[in-house]
Chain A
Amino acid sequence: AQSVTQLGSHVSVSEGALVLLRCNYSSSVPPYLFWYVQYPNQGLQLLLKYTSAATLVKGINGFEAEFKKSETSFHLTKPSAHMSDAAEYFCAVSDLTGFQKLVFGTGTRLLVSP
């Protein structure tokens, strides 16, 4: 069975600082990996996805993530945090069976201080 583990339920950064949100996956087959963002009282919005092409994936709002098979990781980064980045971030995994069933991590809440 596939799963993802997000380390840290809360991450606090100052505005302008580096954002690093960690995600490790477990999958017996090559995975597809996703990062979603959820703003308060909103649904989930896709930030970026890895689908076995380039290992460094760029997404919206300046976020990017790198797929590292040797570390089974897919960490999300942004060089400089903005106040508007404060939200909850979810890592998710699916497989290539075609059913596109997404399994989500428990989420990391990003707090950005002035």
Chain B
Amino acid sequence: DAGVIQSPRHEVTEMGQEVTLRCKPISGHDYLFWYRQTMMRGLELLIYFNNNVPIDDSGMPEDRFSAKMPNASFSTLKIQPSEPRDSAVYFCASSPYRGRGILQKNTEAFFGQGTRLTVV
């Protein structure tokens, strides 16, 4: 498997423009996570999906941010309109889910290489 694939790797856009970040999770993984990494705030969980359904979007900073997962192999994170303070590295991660408690295995998340977003 190629791992979690994110595109683009780098994005530079002007303030006010719409930005769409893309993610292809590892095949067979039930969970998909979007994280944002900045110097000031570290790694923040924005939203995560289970079986394509958004479970927790409490980390999404504002209504300008939206995320979708139309199928098991694709997710997008959209910022509209973008602002300079949105500049960060955005990571997508996926994770399998197998059982609960002591039967739970492979609980770690696998990360993509990230998209470095710069809003000028």
B56 at the interface (CB under 8 A from A): yes
A42 at the interface (CB under 8 A from B): yes
A-B contact pairs, 11 of them (CB 8 A): A32-B107, A42-B113, A42-B114, A44-B93, A49-B108, A100-B107, A100-B109, A101-B33, A102-B33, A103-B45, A106-B42
Known: A43-B114, A44-B91. A98 touches B43 (CB 8 A): no
Among B31, B43, B93, B97, find the residue whose CB has the most chain A CB atoms closer than 10 A: B43
Q: Which residues of B contact A49 (CB under 8 A)?
A: 107-108
Chain B residues in the interface with A (C-beta under 8 A)? 4, 31, 33, 35, 42-43, 45, 48, 50, 55-56, 91, 93, 95, 97, 100-102, 104, 107-114
Q: What class of interface size applies to chain A in its complex with B? A: 20 to 34
Known: A49-B108, A100-B107. A43 touches B43 (CB 8 A): no
Number of A-B contacts (CB under 8 A): 59
In the docked arrangement, what's the CA distance between A90 and B43, Å?
A: 9
In the docked arrangement, what's the CA distance between A99 and B101, Å?
A: 12
Closest to B91 in A: A43
9 extra A-B contacts, CB within 8 A, seeds A46-B109, A51-B107, A104-B42: A43-B93, A43-B113, A44-B111, A52-B102, A100-B107, A100-B109, A101-B45, A102-B45, A107-B42
In the docked arrangement, what's the CA distance between A49 and B110, Å?
A: 13
A100 touches B31 (CB 8 A): yes
B101 touches A96 (CB 8 A): yes
Which 7 pairs across A and B sit closest by C-beta, in order of nearness?
A43-B111, A104-B43, A44-B111, A106-B42, A43-B113, A46-B108, A98-B100
Instruction: Determine how close the nearest CB of chain A comes to the CB of B69; give it in whole angstroms.
Output: 15
A94 at the interface (CB under 8 A from B): yes
